[in-house]
């Protein structure tokens, strides 16, 4: 249930804080006073598309904050829990709209995506605009109403998952069949390419190893020359080792008399002698191992250029040749064992279709039963809504399972007649705008017991009707509000009189600035407003008496 609505800098509203109540809440006012602004603001807070035009002139941004009591709302609580958003009995939706078009969304002060805000908002509020009843003519909407009445939305969601799985299995089968056809046509090429790779037998990391060896072989003569020169320097009369050893012997002669002052130096010289000897030994080893071998160089280059050429042929890096070889082998294996894989994929499709068909048929049966009960409930509502002699029937047509959709194997059409003796026809062709609105209201009343508690908003659902019909619309709205909260924007005094609570929306001009104001009416002010609605600009005593009578009839 909507508890509070705070609006800042939205269109004609500079600052507005409203506290809402349970039951039927009516909103009235002159045309153009700004009633639709309230609905636009609430829609923005519940995830509607943002619009920079909603920001009040002169302001940088507009903000709408809507607080809801969700104590008895299991659906919203589940959504919040699934998305790890903490809540304890209350939820606060906030939307910030900037004049540059950017928009930010928050739930309980935690930033969320606008899509997340819309998911939660749609579970909290249902808004029916002036043309919303036209959706009653839309097949998917009609089917969703049947499913809501049947109370098996969880099964419909499971069916969507099964349908997705079926399509996935079909896609995998088609892809495999196409790949198998291409592979079969390329079998000779695959065998030749695989044989070529297996003959060359590339090894992991071989390119780097061969490149390093090639570089070494190409420069072996030069390297050997420098090693020889280094050895000659190390082995000559003025060799480093000789100098180091001589210095070490001289210091050792006086080490005992130096009282430890030469110990560190002697240790360093000892290490230097050892390191120099080790360096000389390693140079000797490198000199013996480094052999100029033109034949080996030719072999290395032939191997290196061979694997590079094969990599270019397959359009891959050298290190990817092993993976290419495995892929070619797998493709040939697939061709050879294609029948088994094809049969496996065909079985997957058959099993997925059987699962989908079983659940779709079960849902279809439940829809037939729910449709009959819904028709009976709606028919009971037609007479109170002054559609006497009218009729309502849900026609469900079961498709072949192969023609199924994510929502099942049923197509639906609401059929209606508005006068006795008139043949039933599609509701879109039979009912006028006002009649459609009343059929929608009848459906909502019939569906109320099967629906989650939520705030329902009707924007001039009484458009095009008056007198007794408007009074009937008001009474059904009041009935609908018994199980929740209903907000209705109305120009009808009969509907306004049915409300449990009443707000007046007005427009004023202060310092060349137009502002919309909202005021909750007391009993006396309410009588005056309904009298105004009955008589127009000049309120007469007769209108006041009629207003008292209208309100008295609702007590």
Q: What is the pLDDT of residues 137-188, one digit of tens each?
A: 667 878 888 888 898 988 999 999 999 999 999 999 998 888 777 767 777 7
- The answer to whether residue 454 scores a pLDDT higher than 80 is no
Contact present, 409 and 403 (Cβ < 8 Å): yes
Structural domain including 243 reads 187-336
Contact present, 251 and 269 (Cβ < 8 Å): yes
Task: Judge whether 330 lies within some domain.
Answer: yes
In DSSP terms, which residues pair with 39 in a beta bridge? none
Task: Judge whether 271 lies within some domain.
Answer: yes
- The answer to whether residue 132 scores a pLDDT higher than 60 is no
Task: Judge whether 145 lies within some domain.
Answer: no
Residues ≥6 apart with Cβ < 8 Å to 386: 438, 468, 469, 472
Tokens of 435: 């009649």
Q: What is the pLDDT of residue 289?
A: 67
Q: What is the pLDDT of residue 555?
A: 46
Choose among 71, 123, 25: nearest CA to 481: 25
- The answer to whether residue 525 scores a pLDDT higher than 80 is yes
Residues ≥6 apart with Cβ < 8 Å to 135: 141
Contact present, 266 and 252 (Cβ < 8 Å): yes
Q: Where are the alpha helices (DSSP H) in 186-239?
A: 187-200, 206-218, 220-235
Task: Please state the domain count of the chain.
Answer: 1
Q: What is the pTM of this model?
A: 0.60
d(CA 267, CA 280): 20
Task: Judge whether 317 lies within some domain.
Answer: yes
Task: Judge whether 510 lies within some domain.
Answer: no
Q: What is the mean pLDDT of residues 117-130?
A: 81
Q: What is the mean pLDDT of residues 78-103?
A: 88
* Phi, psi (deg, nearest 5) at residue 484: -175, -140
Task: Judge whether 269 lies within some domain.
Answer: yes
Percent of the chain surpassing pLDDT 90: 27
Taking CB atoms within 8 Å and a gap of at least 24, the contacts of 344-347 are: 345/169, 345/172, 345/173, 345/176, 346/173
Contact present, 381 and 445 (Cβ < 8 Å): yes
Q: What is the pLDDT of residue 127?
A: 78
Task: Judge whether 286 lies within some domain.
Answer: yes
Q: What is the pLDDT of residue 272?
A: 85
Tokens of 518: 């909202």
Overall residue count recorded for the chain in this entry: 555
Q: What is the pLDDT of residues 309-364, one digit of tens each?
A: 888 888 888 888 888 888 888 878 877 777 778 889 999 999 999 999 999 999 99
Task: Judge whether 509 lies within some domain.
Answer: no
Choose among 166, 167, 179, 164: nearest CA to 342: 179
């Amino acid at each position: 249930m909507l508890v509070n609505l705070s609006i800042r800098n939205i269109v004609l509203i500079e600052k507005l804080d409203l506290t809402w109540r349970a039951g039927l809440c009516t909103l009235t006012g002159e045309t153009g006073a700004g009633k639709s602004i309230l609905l636009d603001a609430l829609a923005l807070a519940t995830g509607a598309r943002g619009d920079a035009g909603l920001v009040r002139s002169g302001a940088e941004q507009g903000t709408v904050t809507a607080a809801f009591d969700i104590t008895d709302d299991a659906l919203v609580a589940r959504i919040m829990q699934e998305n790890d958003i903490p809540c304890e009995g209350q939820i606060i939706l906030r939307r910030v709209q900037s004049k540059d078009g950017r928009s930010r969304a928050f739930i309980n002060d935690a930033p969320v995506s606008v899509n997340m805000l819309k998911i939660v908002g749609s579970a909290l509020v249902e808004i029916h605009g002036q043309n919303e009843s036209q959706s009653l003519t839309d097949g998917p909407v009609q089917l969703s109403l049947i499913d809501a009445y049947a109370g098996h939305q969880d099964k419909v969601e499971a069916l969507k998952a099964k349908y997705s799985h079926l399509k996935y299995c079909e896609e995998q089968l088609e892809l495999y069949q196409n790949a198998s056809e291409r592979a079969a046509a390329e079998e000779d090429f695959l065998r030749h390419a695989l044989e070529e790779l297996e003959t060359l037998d590339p090894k992991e990391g071989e390119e780097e190893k061969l490149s390093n060896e090639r570089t070494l072989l190409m420069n072996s003569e030069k390297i050997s020359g420098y090693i020889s020169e280094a050895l000659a320097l190390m082995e000559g009369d003025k060799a480093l080792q000789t100098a180091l050893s001589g210095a070490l012997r001289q210091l050792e002669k006086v080490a005992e008399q130096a009282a430890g002052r030469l110990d560190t130096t002697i240790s360093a010289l000892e290490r230097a002698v050892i390191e120099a000897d080790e360096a000389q030994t390693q140079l000797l080893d490198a000199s013996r191992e480094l052999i100029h071998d033109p034949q080996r160089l030719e072999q290395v280059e032939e191997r290196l250029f061979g694997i590079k050429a094969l990599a270019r042929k397959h359009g891959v890096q050298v290190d990817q040749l092993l993976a290419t070889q495995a892929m070619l082998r797998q493709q040939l294996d697939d061709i050879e064992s294609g029948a088994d894989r094809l049969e496996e994929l065909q079985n997957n499709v058959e099993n997925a279709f059987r699962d989908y068909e079983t659940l779709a048929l079960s849902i279809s049966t439940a829809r037939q039963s729910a449709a009959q009960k819904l028709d009976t409930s709606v028919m009971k509502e037609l007479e109170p809504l002054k559609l006497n002699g009218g009729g309502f029937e849900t026609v469900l047509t079961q498709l072949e399972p192969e023609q199924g959709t994510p929502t099942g194997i049923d197509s639906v059409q609401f059929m209606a007649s508005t006068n006795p003796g008139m043949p039933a026809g599609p509701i879109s062709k039979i009912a006028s705008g006002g009649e459609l609105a009343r059929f929608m209201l009848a459906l909502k009343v019939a569906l109320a017991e099967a629906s989650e508690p939520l705030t329902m908003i009707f924007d001039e659902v009484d458009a095009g009707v008056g007198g007794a019909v408007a009074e009937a619309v008001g009474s059904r709205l009041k009935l609908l509000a018994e199980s929740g909260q209903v907000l209705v924007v109305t120009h009808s005094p009969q509907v306004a009189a049915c409300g449990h609570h009443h707000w007046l929306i007005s427009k004023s001009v202060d310092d060349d600035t137009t502002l919309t104001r909202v005021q909750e009416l007391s009993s006396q002010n309410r009588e005056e407003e309904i009298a105004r609605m009955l008589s127009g600009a000049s309120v007469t005593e007769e209108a006041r008496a009629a207003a008292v009578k209208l309100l008295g009839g609702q007590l």
